[in-house]
Amino acid sequence: MEKQIVHLFVFNTLADWETGFTVAGINNPEMQKHPGRYCVQTVGLNAEPVTTIGGVTVLPDLTLDELEPGAMLILPGGEAWDAGENSKILESAKALLAANIPVAAICGATAGLARAGILDDIPHTSNAKEYLQATNYRGAAWYQNQPAVTAGNVITANSTAPLEFAYQIFKKLDLYETPVLEAWYGLFKTGDSSYYFQLQQLTISSTS
C-alpha cells in the first residue's frame, strides 16, 4: 500500500507541543485501522533549517515550492503568525482546500486562516474570539468556544488543546477504529488506567 503523506508545516518559532500527539499517532502504526497508511513529511518555506520555540532544529523534508497535494496539511502555532509571517503557506492551504484536501490549524495558525478568509463562513475556534477579531476577519458569528472544531475539511483548535486537535485529525484521517480512538483519548485526557486496559484488550482482539 502506497503511503499517503500528511504534510506538517515547520517554521521558526513553531510551538513544539501543539502537534506532538498528532505526529506520534500518525507515524506509529500500532493499533491503526490500516497500519502504515500515512506518514508525516515536514514542509518549510525554503530548505533552510528552522528552530522551534523549544530550541529544536528541524530540517524540512521539502520546500513549499515542492509541496504537492497529500492527505492533509497541518499548520502548528507559533509566534511567526502574529508577526505577519507564513503568508505563502496560506495560499497553499486555500489551494488544497479547493482540491478537497483537509487543512488543520492550531493556535496562531488559526489567525492565519482568518486573515486568508478561510474562516469567514464556517464554524471554527481559536485561542479566543477576540484574538481572531483582531485580524479583521468576517467570521466572528461562526466562532465556537470549544477546544477543537471540525467543519468540513477545516480543523481548528486553541493553543491549550493539542490532544483534542489530534483527536479531530485522527477522526478525519480515519486513523483508528472508533473504540480505539475513544479509549486513547480517554486515557490521555483523564489518566484513568481503565482506558489503558481497554487499549490492551483492543490490541489483543485485533491481533487474534
Q: To which H or E segment does residue 114 belong? A: helix 108-115
Note the residue count of the chain: 208
39 is catalytic: no
Q: Which of 107, 161, 169, 175 is labelled catalytic?
A: 107
Cell of 10: 515547520
CB-based contact 125:156 (threshold 8 Å): yes
Please name the amino acid found at residue 70: G
Residue at grid coordinates 472544531: 149
Centre a 10 Å sphere on the Cβ of residue 48 and count the other Cβ atoms it contains: 10
Distance CA 74, CA 95 (A): 14
Cell of 34: 490500516
Alpha helices in 116-192 (DSSP H): 129-133, 162-173, 178-190
Distance CA 172, CA 151 (A): 10
Cell of 194: 481503565
Helix 193-207 and helix 178-190, axial crossing angle in degrees, nearest 10:
150
Catalytic residues, which ones? 107
